[in-house]
Amino acid sequence: MIHKVLVIGAGRSSSSLIQYLIQHAKSGFLQLGVADLDRSLAASHFSDNREGLVHTLDVSDQSALNEVINKYDLVVSMLPAYMHTKIAKVCVELSKHLFTASYVSDEMLGLQEEVKHKGLLFLNECGLDPGLDHMTAMESIDEIKSLGGEIVGFKSYTGGLISPESCNNSWKYKFTWNPRNVVLAGQGTARFIRNGKMKFIPYHRLFSRYESLNIDGIGQMEGYPNRDSLSYREKYGLVECPTVIRGTIRYSGFCKGWDLLVQLGLTDDSFRFQWKKGTTQRDFTNMFLPYDAEMSVEDKLCRYLNIDREDEGFRQLEEIGLFSNQLIANTFASPAEVLQDTLEKKWQLEPTDIDMIVMQHRIQYELKDTQYLRISEFLHKGKSHRLTAMADTVGLPLGVAIYLFFKGAFKETGINIPTQPHFYKPILEELEKYGFQFSHREHTITDTVL
């Protein structure tokens, strides 16, 4: 039997997923289709028409969407997260399975009864973060519990970064995934629990509340909390755990620089404004500073942010062009959209650049009156600026899950995430063939360290 799989969305993050599925298409195990608004982008993943089918698809065209999805058994949505529910509703209507790499939304959960009734599997959060983080964390958590250990502290950080050999700007950062998500990262209030105390960090303080991380083979980095760590207490079976924190990894120095952008208001996406034609980046920056007829934009900014021109933060702002006479391209935009346009020009991957994924879990537990700290780390580098580590770690877990599903490994129906052993064990075992291996080190401790 040939299984029919449709990937909707042919962007950069889809490349490894599509290449993985092409290999199974060549063996006759499945038939692959790729759909995108940009037909040439979808077609670029295939070397010839024997590897798969290409569909031009405008997702807003309900009739066309139904027609394409109806030709397949399973749909993979690689579209922005807010579009998944639209795809999901069609899949329910047409009795098609659905896999995504995105968080399960409340709207998606609202389809749970219908999905189960039709005997479908909707597997979500099966990419990198969420996805690989869930599976590898649960592997350690379940192992420790099976030994009789009590987990008293859990921290998990993930970062999509540029590899050290490609770091050639003061931020040590370039875009390896959706730039808009990077610019808007952390907006809202970060929520977590530490040593039994609930903690909240409002957005305007988030990037000043990072912590130092030591990553084996990389060195000192920094991590800031994600929006909601509290929900993972139940998902990970850590309801009684005194410390649960999930966060994002960046190179040292990034958070201080980004905090300046937040304090200026340049990441604000709450309003759009009609910028005057001829507005420069320098004009844009000046709009967020107090009026002063005599002082330069640079001096006003330094006074406003309480920094000086010798600070690394000032050099970072200067480097991305906030004081330049470059014209703003998008004249009707939010401040965050203007900043995104600016950064996309500065932080794009060059042909020689290599990206990198870093993940670290830190688990403190007690076993037979002894305290232990287990540190698990994962580092994966891309092959080129097109064959990226981000695409690998987002796409290959999905591809492997699809392969295993059609092999009969998953019997569940309904809306699921891969936090149970019957999901994560076979997926992680298969991913080891592609170099997805965590290093583990563990030692006894005498006090609380998380």
304 inside domain: yes
Output the CA torsion 257→262→267→269 (10° steps).
170
Query: Which residue shows structure tokens 């899950």?
Result: 401
**So what's the pLDDT on residue 171?**
96
Query: Domain end: 123, 140, 170, which one?
Result: 123
Based on the fold, state whether residues 145 and 180 are members of the same structural domain: yes
Based on the fold, state whether residues 240 and 204 are members of the same structural domain: yes
362 inside domain: yes
Q: What is the CATH number of the domain that holds 240?
A: 3.30.360.10
**Bridge-partner residues for 74, per DSSP?**
5, 97
Based on the fold, state whether residues 246 and 364 are members of the same structural domain: yes
Based on the fold, state whether residues 249 and 367 are members of the same structural domain: yes
Q: How far is CA 73 from CA 43, 121, 339, 411, in A?
A: 21, 11, 41, 16
Question: β-pairing, 211-215 with 219-225?
Answer: antiparallel
Residue 25 contacts residue 31 (beta carbons within 8 Å)? yes
Q: What is the CATH number of the domain that holds 73?
A: 3.40.50.720
**So what's the pLDDT on residue 177?**
81
Give the domain range for residue 145.
132-257+351-389+436-445
- What does pTM read for this prediction? 0.91
Based on the fold, state whether residues 225 and 150 are members of the same structural domain: yes
Based on the fold, state whether residues 239 and 294 are members of the same structural domain: no
Query: Which residue shows structure tokens 């920056």?
Result: 285
Query: Domain end: 123, 154, 169, which one?
Result: 123
Give the integer Cα–Cα distance in Å for 189 and 200. 6
Query: Domain end: 76, 91, 123, which one?
Result: 123
Based on the fold, state whether residues 247 and 279 are members of the same structural domain: no
Based on the fold, state whether residues 78 and 158 are members of the same structural domain: no
Minimal CA–CA distance to 359: which of 439, 418, 426?
439
Q: What are phi and psi of 332, to 5 degrees?
A: -125, 100
Give the integer Cα–Cα distance in Å for 66 and 434. 35
Based on the fold, state whether residues 235 and 381 are members of the same structural domain: yes
**So what's the pLDDT on residue 386?**
80
**So what's the pLDDT on residue 330?**
84
11 inside domain: yes
In sequence order, the 6+-apart residues with CB closer than 8 A to the CB of 116 are: 413, 414
428 inside domain: no
Based on the fold, state whether residues 226 and 367 are members of the same structural domain: yes
Give the integer Cα–Cα distance in Å for 245 and 206. 14
Total structural domains within the chain: 3
Q: What are phi and psi of 97, to 5 degrees?
A: -75, 155
**So what's the pLDDT on residue 1?**
78
Based on the fold, state whether residues 50 and 30 are members of the same structural domain: yes
Q: Which residues of the chain have pLDDT under 70?
A: 49
Based on the fold, state whether residues 57 and 176 are members of the same structural domain: no
**So what's the pLDDT on residue 2?**
87
339 inside domain: no
52-71: b (≥16 Cβ within 10 Å) or e: bbbbebebeeeeebeebbee
